[in-house]
Amino acid sequence: MRLTIRRTRRGTVSAGLNFLLTGLSGTILLGNQWVAADPSALGVTVGGVMLAWSALILSGVLRPVLLVADDTGLSVRRVLGWHRFGWADLAWADLQGARAVLFAARVAGRDRYAALPRRPVAEADIDRLAETLRARRPDLPLTNPAALKLPEAA
């Protein structure tokens, strides 16, 4: 059974609007600096950063799949590339985070972490993810064990 979590329509519209506003603002700023008699280095830098940021947003808009869970394991999309974890490598998954679903795995002797943002994902998809995790790894803790520890007394 394969589970694919995609960005919601609302998340896509929001990211698309961010792309348009940032790209338009950067273009206007750079255009004003281009025709200015004495262009400002700060204006050119800020305009360039805004255009680079809009390109990063566009790369996310063009890749709507955020998570794939299949027979081999779990893949979570990053800004560039994917985090891939085998089912046996997962140490815990925190499904209760307010802003993101967090995953931790031990891969090749190193701790690896990935996050699935909650904002562009439907709650029904988070529920389906929880069912998939329970089916694949019934022993997997679904909360962050470090968050359960009480702080030491001062």
The total number of structural domains in the chain stands at: 2
- What DSSP letter does each residue of 13-80 carry, written as one string? HHHHHHHHHHHHHHHHHHHHHHH-SS--HHHHHHHHHHHHHHHHHHHHHT--EEEEE-SSEEEEE-SS
Structural domain containing residue 83: 66-144
Shared-domain flag, residues 74 and 138: yes
Do 56 and 98 belong together in one domain? no
* Structure confidence at residue 148 as a pLDDT band (50, 70, 90): low
Per-residue pLDDT of 74-126, as tens digits, reads 999 887 788 899 999 999 999 888 888 899 998 888 889 999 888 888 899 99
pLDDT at residue 109, as a whole number: 86
Residue 84 lies in a domain: yes
Domain assignment present for residue 120? The answer is: yes
Helix (H/G/I), strand (E/B), else coil: 86: strand
The predicted pLDDT at position 60 comes to 81
149 domain residue, yes or no: no
Distances (CA, A) of 124 to 6, 87, 127: 12, 22, 5
Asked whether residue 105 is domain-assigned, the answer is yes
Q: Which of 134, 130, 3, 142 is nearest to 65 (CA)?
A: 3
The yes-or-no verdict on residue 12 having pLDDT over 70 is yes
Residue 78's CATH number:
2.30.29.30
- Is 52 found in the same domain as 71? no
Q: What pLDDT, in 10s, does the model give residues 32-65?
A: 888 787 888 988 899 899 999 999 888 888 888 8
- Same domain assignment for residues 56 and 96: no
CA distance 118 to 105: 20
